[in-house]
Amino acid sequence: MHQTMPGAQDIIDIVAANSAQGAPIMKCNAALYSSQGVLDGLLTLFHDRLVWNELSDRTSNMLTISTDVLFGATLSPPGKYKFRSFEAAAAANLRVEASTHFTVYTITAHENGRRPLCDTWTFIVGSEEECATWLSLLRFAINPAPIKGDTNALVFLNPVSGKRKSLAIFESVVKPILAIGATKYTLKITESAGYASEFMRTQDLSPYSAIVVVSGDGLLHEVLNGLLRRPDWATYRNIPLGIIPTGTGNGLARSLDVTWPEQAAVALVKAQSQPIDIMSTTLANGAVNHCFLSVTWGLLADVDIESESMRWAGSARLDLYATVRMLNLRYYGGRLHYLPADADADSSAGASASSGGEGAAAEIQQLSLAETGLEAASQGADMPPSDPALPPADAPARVQPAASLHPTLTAGVALPVAKGSLSPRWRTIEGPFVQVIATNVPWLSADFLACSRARITDGAVDLVYSTAVTKWQIFPYLAASAREDHMNTKGVKHVRARAFIIEPTGLRTTSRSDASIQEVQPQRAGASSSPSPSPRPRSLFGSRRSKTPGGSSGTATPPDTPPQVPVPVRVRSQVYTAYHQQTIGRSAAAAAAADLPNGDAEPRPPAQAAFSARSETAAAAAQSPSPAPAVPVARASPAEAEAGAGECRLVGSDGHLVLDGEAAELGAVKVECLPGLLRVICPPWLNEGRTAHAGAAPAKAPEPIAGTLSRERSMLSFGA
């Protein structure tokens, strides 16, 4: 006999009828299968937990399962079932059609970073109808969305992320969890770089309730930029974006406390989300890009850029090269202008911060979070999508909509910044700098804590910078990069900003005194990218930097060499592009472009070609008789290619944007935080502060078992 599952409305009614604070939603006699046999007991479902109490004169065993860690409830065949893997659990229990037995699935707490496991608990109730009601209620407790309506997650999988195990991890871990959690999805395996970006930009997204990547941060960067390039992006801004980490860095996953793919898959089943701030970056040539992790300049940026050729060393490449760079510390001439997010920002910025110019040629508004609509965005996915062109109906007339993709705080600021053009609210820090890290997340990668105070939804970017410190001062900072409070390291300063501008002056030197500020001429947005003459820096590791535009490798510039013409960025980007061709960009486009006559010119990344079979736009472009312009694009970011920023100084394809340390006039970049622009899927056990940071135990620790039951999975302990 097949039991009838209660309808959606029945379930909603039951929950609503018992919605009083603390009242049980359902309660009935239920026996628990255990290693000691079948134990009679009472099972109670509350809003936040499932509790089973043994009915016995001899003992008072109790099992408490937080709904945070509950991710599945299925019928189970009669008998004692315990499963050690997600795969085995899914295979055994999902076949049963009718039973008075049901099994609930929990993910174990992640103690000391250990890999989480699947726990299962099987109960027996009196009738099949009762069993069906329990299942519906439990599934509602896990995620009400599938009960209320249809859901379908779009899953992009990058087969070449990290150690190239994305597909294997998906099959063995993610797929079983999604099956147990009854989460529907559509899987798309990316064919090349740019595939996901092109799909997001051109295809109908209305069938999807979430967009998830099984990859590193790079594929999410593609998804985000593809989405934000749609004319109707605002319609989809509340679709939650998720990441199942299989990449190398995995900075967002670490920041969201889903370090393991199992945790991220459970988060997808539960489908809870929160807003995420997005950084909008604008180069002097007008190219706009968006990122969710960081913008870096100086030490860290150069480590990221220059260690690309050491990919063979795996994630150790950054540590190795950072050590090399720190021992030969460089100083970067330039200015950092920022619009403080906090009223008391000056105190933490130190004495080096000075007020901006007197004039107010650009009208800069320092908007409170409430004014910019962040609070509204935080209300959740129910917020109606806003039209980017229109301010919110109830907003004061002069306030720009928070959802606008167009910078609202820096729109009138031309790059490079003319003296006195910033409003007095801005602060300016004069270089030379050792590094500037602007981060939206605490963790830039799984083991690099850039700023423990950063939050993804605070409407601000955390600027962590060091001016002219010595290598011995900066060393402890990076050495302590995975610990809490390392920000107290001498020489490291921190401010929170709503917007900022980095203006390199073209000097990068190993001598602090040489990295003085060079005045540069203001340049119109969209102007030619040809760099004008400026002094060349001295560089200990300057072979790449000292190449000529002709492409041959040169030698390090001697210290006393007179100023030379600066090196076009196309030469500088060769390392990334070479890496991309060899390791990542295996597309036909890259192969075809290998014959380009100019040895300097690098192929356009395979962004368009990647999706050509599916995209009318790309198909039309392919029929065009004129070959794709041979512009160099560092690391082949599809977004950059689309923006026509071939000579961009801002490079990166993995959520981190890296400013070339040697950039001259065109290197200036303005960055604005767009508060809560999009949403990300996050696990229910995420910190109260809504971002994971070092040393902090989750506020609601995922604790499936409590009371006198043993913590050991599948074992019950009696007595004392």
Ligand X SMILES: Nc1ncnc2c1ncn2[C@@H]1O[C@H](COP(=O)(O)OP(=O)(O)OP(=O)(O)O)[C@@H](O)[C@H]1O
Q: Which residues bind ligand X (CB under 6 A)?
A: 158-162, 190-193, 195, 215-219, 222, 247-250, 584, 586, 653-654
- Quote the least distance from Cβ 196 to ligand X, whole Å: 7
State the DSSP code for 694.
Answer: T
The residue among 226 and 240 lying less far from ligand X, judged by its C-beta, is 226
Give the separation between CA 141 and CA 137, rounded to whole angstroms: 6
The residue among 191 and 371 lying less far from ligand X, judged by its C-beta, is 191
Active site residue 217: yes
- Reading the block at residue 145, the tokens are 């969305």
Is residue 649 within 8 A of residue 659, CB to CB? The reply is: yes
- Quote the least distance from Cβ 190 to ligand X, whole Å: 3
- Reading the block at residue 702, the tokens are 């995922």
- Quote the least distance from Cβ 259 to ligand X, whole Å: 12
Place of tokens 């006559």: 597
The residue among 82 and 635 lying less far from ligand X, judged by its C-beta, is 635
Give the separation between CA 609 and CA 607, rounded to whole angstroms: 6
- Quote the least distance from Cβ 226 to ligand X, whole Å: 11
The catalytic residue among 68, 119, 217, 304 is 217
Q: Which residues of 191-205 are buried (b: 16+ CB within 10 A; e: fewer)?
A: bbbbbbbbbbbbbeb
State the DSSP code for 602.
Answer: -
Give the separation between CA 117 and CA 67, rounded to whole angstroms: 16
- Quote the least distance from Cβ 192 to ligand X, whole Å: 5
Place of tokens 């409830």: 73
- Quote the least distance from Cβ 684 to ligand X, whole Å: 24
The residue among 442 and 537 lying less far from ligand X, judged by its C-beta, is 442
The residue among 144 and 159 lying less far from ligand X, judged by its C-beta, is 159
- Quote the least distance from Cβ 228 to ligand X, whole Å: 16
- Quote the least distance from Cβ 237 to ligand X, whole Å: 22
By C-alpha distance, which of 583, 137, 113 is closest to 317?
583
Tell me the one-letter amino acid at 697: A
State the DSSP code for 233.
Answer: G
By C-alpha distance, which of 579, 592, 593 is closest to 635?
579
The residue among 99 and 215 lying less far from ligand X, judged by its C-beta, is 215
State the DSSP code for 538.
Answer: P
Phi and psi at 610, nearest 5°, equal -55, -35
Q: How many CB atoms are located within 10 Å of the residue 210 CB? A: 22
- Quote the least distance from Cβ 248 to ligand X, whole Å: 4
Phi and psi at 693, nearest 5°, equal -140, 175
- Quote the least distance from Cβ 160 to ligand X, whole Å: 5
The residue among 159 and 357 lying less far from ligand X, judged by its C-beta, is 159
Contacts of 577 (CB under 8 A, 6+ apart): 602, 603, 632, 633, 634, 635, 636
Give the separation between CA 323 and CA 309, rounded to whole angstroms: 16
By C-alpha distance, which of 74, 108, 100 is closest to 3?
100
Give the separation between CA 259 and CA 403, rounded to whole angstroms: 29
Determine whether 253 is exposed, middle or buried from the number of CB atoms within 10 Å of its CB (0-12, 13-18, 19+).
Answer: buried
- Reading the block at residue 523, the tokens are 């340049």
- Quote the least distance from Cβ 443 to ligand X, whole Å: 11
The residue among 265 and 668 lying less far from ligand X, judged by its C-beta, is 265
Tell me the one-letter amino acid at 365: Q
Q: How many CB atoms are located within 10 Å of the residue 488 CB? A: 11
The residue among 138 and 252 lying less far from ligand X, judged by its C-beta, is 252
Tell me the one-letter amino acid at 121: W
Give the separation between CA 460 and CA 668, rounded to whole angstroms: 20
- Quote the least distance from Cβ 310 to ligand X, whole Å: 14
The residue among 584 and 677 lying less far from ligand X, judged by its C-beta, is 584
Place of tokens 């395979």: 606
By C-alpha distance, which of 279, 297, 217 is closest to 251?
217
Find the helix or strand (DSSP H, E) in which 281 lies. strand 273-283
Is residue 154 within 8 A of residue 210, CB to CB? The reply is: yes
Per DSSP, helices labelled H in 368-433 are 369-372, 374-377
Contacts of 494 (CB under 8 A, 6+ apart): 348, 451, 453, 462, 463, 464, 465, 487
Place of tokens 């659990």: 89
- Reading the block at residue 608, the tokens are 């368009």
The residue among 191 and 375 lying less far from ligand X, judged by its C-beta, is 191
The residue among 239 and 609 lying less far from ligand X, judged by its C-beta, is 609
User: In the complex, which residue's CB is closest to ligand X?
Assistant: 216
Active site residues: 217
